[in-house]
């Protein structure tokens, strides 16, 4: 039986657009400081080097640019809360496309800089010309531009963290981008494990109830999981394990139903 549908959270479209542009700017500024040796470093993303990671960050936004430039699709096939659970199906395509972009940049640092400059300019133009209600074609199906931009905050924040992990660079996180990313991944957990017996808290951005069982309505919940936004994002995307997060006290979990290990990751 498919998971029960939750009511989709509302996101401020003006803030979301600004967050996408701001977080891309932070990533761009960091990438353009990298040396050839840093671009060749491994990442926690399988066989990807930092070069592939840097290329993928632009690709995640070029889907928006292409979608706005193409004819509007006939139907809306992708709801916002469908996206986190649909990403695994397209992982192979993403890897192939990313490697093609990275190979085009080769060892030429000016080419990578030009890729970022062109992507930023084209993205700003695309967002200026299209409304949030416009449907765009994505690899996941027809989607509202406003919804798809929320998914781009996840791509940008998660891969900013990947970049930091691989290179040690202290790349800033736009507060609104971090908030949207945290909330979407928390809501995805509530869809994947529908219920009300466990309360998951990710202050200051999200609180959701999930997991089948007795629903808590008053007082202190008997089953509570609490963590910070970046730890939650790493758990939800498989960058860290439940066991490691508990061992380092990055997450607290109280109650007999508060073990989320079997439900993670929630992103593809």
- State pLDDT tens for residues 84-100: 888 877 655 554 444 55
- Average the pLDDT over 134-163 and give the result: 96
Q: Coil, strand, or helix at residue 101? A: helix
Please state, in angstroms and as integers, the Cα–Cα distance from residue 64 to each residue in 48, 61, 127, following that order.
Answer: 23, 5, 9
Round the average pLDDT of the chain to a whole number and report it: 89
Domain boundary among 156, 173, 190: 173
pLDDT at 70: 96
Identify whether 5 is part of a domain.
no
**Confidence (pTM):** 0.91
| Rounded percentage of the chain residues whose pLDDT exceeds 90 | 78
Q: Quick check: 3 pLDDT over 50? A: no
Q: Quick check: 233 pLDDT over 60? A: yes
- Average the pLDDT over 199-220 and give the result: 85
Identify whether 22 is part of a domain.
yes
Instruction: Using the structure block, give the residue that is written with the tokens 């992507």.
Output: 119
State whether 154 and 195 are in the same domain: no
- Average the pLDDT over 220-249 and give the result: 95
Identify whether 4 is part of a domain.
no
* Higher-pLDDT residue of 81, 88: 81
The count of domains in the chain is 2
Identify whether 148 is part of a domain.
yes
Q: Which residues constitute the domain of residue 234? A: 179-263
């Amino acid at each position: 039986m498919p998971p029960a549908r939750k009511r989709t959270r509302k996101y401020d479209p003006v803030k979301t657009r600004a967050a996408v542009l701001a977080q891309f700017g932070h990533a761009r500024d960091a990438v353009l400081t990298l040396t050839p040796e840093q671009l060749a470093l491994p990442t926690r993303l399988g066989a990807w080097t930092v070069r592939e990671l840097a290329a993928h960050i632009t690709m995640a936004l070029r889907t928006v640019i292409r979608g706005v430039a193409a004819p509007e699709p006939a139907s809306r096939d992708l709801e916002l809360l469908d996206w986190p659970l649909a990403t695994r199906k397209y992982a192979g395509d993403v890897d192939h496309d990313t490697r093609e972009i990275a190979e085009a940049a080769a060892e030429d640092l000016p080419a990578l800089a030009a890729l970022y400059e062109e992507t930023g300019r084209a993205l700003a133009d695309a967002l200026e010309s299209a409304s949030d209600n416009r449907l765009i074609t994505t690899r996941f199906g027809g989607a509202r531009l406003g919804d798809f931009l929320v998914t781009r905050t996840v791509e940008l924040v998660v891969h900013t963290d990947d970049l930091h992990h691989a290179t040690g660079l202290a790349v800033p996180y736009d507060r609104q981008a971090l908030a949207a990313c945290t909330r979407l991944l928390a809501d995805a957990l509530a869809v994947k494990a529908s219920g009300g017996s466990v309360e998951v808290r990710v202050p200051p951005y999200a609180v959701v109830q999930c997991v089948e069982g007795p629903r808590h309505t008053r007082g202190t919940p008997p089953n509570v999981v609490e963590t910070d936004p970046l730890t939650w994002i790493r758990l939800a995307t498989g960058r860290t394990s439940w066991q490691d997060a508990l061992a380092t006290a990055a997450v607290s979990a109280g109650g007999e139903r508060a073990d989320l290990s079997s439900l993670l990751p929630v992103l593809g």
